[in-house]
Amino acid sequence: MVRVISEQNSLLSQFISELRDVNIQTDSSRFRRNLERCGEIFAYEISKVLNYKSEQVQTPLGVADMQLPDETIVLATILRAGLPLHQGMLNYFDKAQNAFISAYRKYDNDGTFRIQFEHISCPNIDGKTLILMDPMLATGASMLMAYKAILGKGKPSHTHIVSVIASHEGVEYMKRNLSSKDATIWLGAVDDELTVKAYIVPGLGDAGDLAYGKKD
């Protein structure tokens, strides 16, 4: 149910290292590009577990028997931090349908927060393969709420949940609340600590701010 790609050495580790690096983080363009690269790697890894069908392709010299993906994919992103990750996925799953979820942490005066949803733009997902992504999986609450909200658009054949960096607490929360037959969780790295304000340590900070600038 949970696949941590960095458990095997690959270029993904380099991209995550740069995402974490405070000296490199000052370049928001590079930060966005590294998230995009991570999306491309996740797309490639997920493509290995999809269903395929045989098709014949005419070449200038003959006919080639090819195995091509046989699933309709919907890429779903939690705004705003997820946009570069989404673009990386879309670079590879270029025929995918797309969904966008507007959600954010709304902090109260005592420092606690709740997840505030504003809007979902999504096609019907009945029988389709859903890939739901957000760069960070902290408590897991926003990801699970996004997943439940998007199920209002239909029942996918399978859901792939993608995060670049997760906390152990967030992973366990998702495992408790999702069935392995319904969803697979894909992660770049898993960190040990989660602060009282639900920030992952060592993590990388606020992905949305680093990608697009600070917000009020």
Does residue 162 belong to any structural domain of this protein?
Answer: yes
Q: Which residues contact 57 (CB under 8 A, 6 or more apart)?
A: 63, 64, 66
Residue 151: inside a domain: yes
Mean pLDDT, residues 30-56 taken together = 97
pLDDT at residue 196 above 70? yes
- Report pLDDT for 113: 57
The pLDDT of residue 119? 80
114 domain-assigned: yes
Residue 142: what pLDDT? 87
Helix pair angle (11-20, 28-47), 10° resolution: 150
Q: What is the CATH number of the domain that holds 105?
A: 3.40.50.2020
**Residue with the two structure tokens 């269903």:** 51
Whether residue 115 lies inside any domain: the answer is: yes
What percent of the chain shows pLDDT beyond 70?
A: 93
What is the number of structural domains in the chain? 1
Report CA-CA distances (Å) from 27 to 20, 140, 147, 210, 212.
Answer: 12, 28, 32, 8, 10
- Pick the closest to residue 204 from 38, 11, 3 (CA basis): 38
What is the extent of the structural domain holding 116? 2-50+69-212
Q: Could you tell me what percent of the chain has a pLDDT over 90?
A: 80
pLDDT in tens, 107-122: 666 666 566 667 889 9
